[in-house]
Amino acid sequence: MSADPTESWKLTLPCTRAEAEAIDMGEGLEGFDPSPVIITSEEIEDDPLSWRLDAYFSGKPDATIVAAVRALAPSSAAVKAKAERVPDEDWITLSQAGIEPVHAARFYVHTSANKGDVPPGAHAFHIEASRAFGTGHHQTTTGCLLALDAMKVQGKRFRNILDLGTGTGLLAFAALHLWPRAYATASDIDAAAISITEENAEVNGIPLGAGPGALALAAAPGLEHPLLIGRAPYDLIVANILAGPLIGLAPTIAMALAEGGTLVLAGLLDWQAKSVTQAYRRQGLMPVSANAIGDWPTLTLRKRARYGAARVTRLGPGGANDAPGFGSW
């Protein structure tokens, strides 16, 4: 980046729907600080080959980060494009102007640039687009919001909740809204996501802390953190990440889930659902329900009671437990 971070720059590239979905899942720009804001949009309705990538930079981007952004859209390799300086305006607001609010059951998610009218009876969350995944505008996050709402409608109660791979904190915020007396924990492998979650918590009036009704935060791979291990077992875990990590973490997540506990999984495509489900069946979890938005299913599973030799008998933060073997993400 240039020495003047007040300058705003933009790079626009064509891309495909598949590339846009991979970008929306937060892939490709790990390690850049500051990261550009990436916005993808559909150029021609229902045409999977006609999408667009807009990258907004704070300061003139150098060749390394431009190449990294171009690598997000391999289909544009033959296109000659370069970053251009944009007028001195609020470029974050401009970049978010096309992001429509999301209304998912009782939840309404919006940015500052496009709040719209909050539907009657809906609870609004203000989540800005950022380098962390989970703004509510991807189908996987929306699917999790719908799954959480459905469990509330069914009368489910949870006392100890983990949002694994929290991104922006949105799903943890939603769970706390539904079960305001629960202990809640949110974690992410990316420390930047935890910082973003802290900022979003303040904006949305979510208290941070270790007690009931507050949100505890940890940056960690998988559940490799004393806080995450110490607060296990959880009676609700939400993991909106990717199919590969979900499969690899199956033994760890199952160990951290209380007997009879509920698990919500997302971040996978429809053709990956069978493999993900089988990985958790092997750990003693049974499918309860599934919903899909487009090609992105959300799976809800429940852990069988009294499954496995190394049983976890304590529910909630504090005290010792018998849950060794937490692995890495």
- Give this prediction's pTM: 0.70
Tell whether 160 is in a known binding site: no
CA distance 150 to 158: 13
Q: Quick: pLDDT tens for 71-91.
A: 999 999 888 888 888 765 544
Q: For the CA atoms of 98, 104, 108, 112, what is the dihedral angle to 10 degrees?
A: -20
Tell whether 240 is in a known binding site: yes
Tell whether 165 is in a known binding site: yes
Alpha-carbon distances, residue 152 vs 145, 148, 158, 205, 239 (angstroms): 11, 6, 10, 21, 18
Q: Quick: pLDDT tens for 282-295.
A: 999 999 999 998 88
CA distance 235 to 217: 18
Is the pLDDT higher at 229 or at 48? 229
Identify the top-confidence range among 189-203, 251-265, 312-326.
Answer: 251-265
> In the CATH scheme, what is the code of domain 131-303?
3.40.50.150
Q: Quick: pLDDT tens for 213-259.
A: 999 999 999 999 999 999 999 999 999 988 889 999 999 999 999 99
Q: In this model, does residue 113 exceed pLDDT 90?
A: no
Q: At what angle do helices 191-203 and 170-178 cross, to 10 degrees?
A: 50
Tell whether 200 is in a known binding site: no
Domain ranges for the chain: 8-96, 131-303
Q: In this model, does residue 156 exceed pLDDT 70?
A: yes
Q: Is residue 211 within 8 Å of residue 183, measured between CB atoms? A: yes
Residue given tokens 């949305």 in the structure block: 204
Nearest Cα to Cα of residue 105 among 141, 138, 149 = 149
CA distance 65 to 111: 26
Q: In this model, does residue 210 exceed pLDDT 60?
A: yes
Please state which architecture CATH assigns to domain 8-96. 2-Layer Sandwich (3.30)
Q: Quick: pLDDT tens for 250-283.
A: 999 999 999 999 999 998 888 899 999 999 999 9
Q: Count of CB atoms within 10 A of residue 50's CB? A: 14
* Confidence bin at 203 (pLDDT 50/70/90): very high
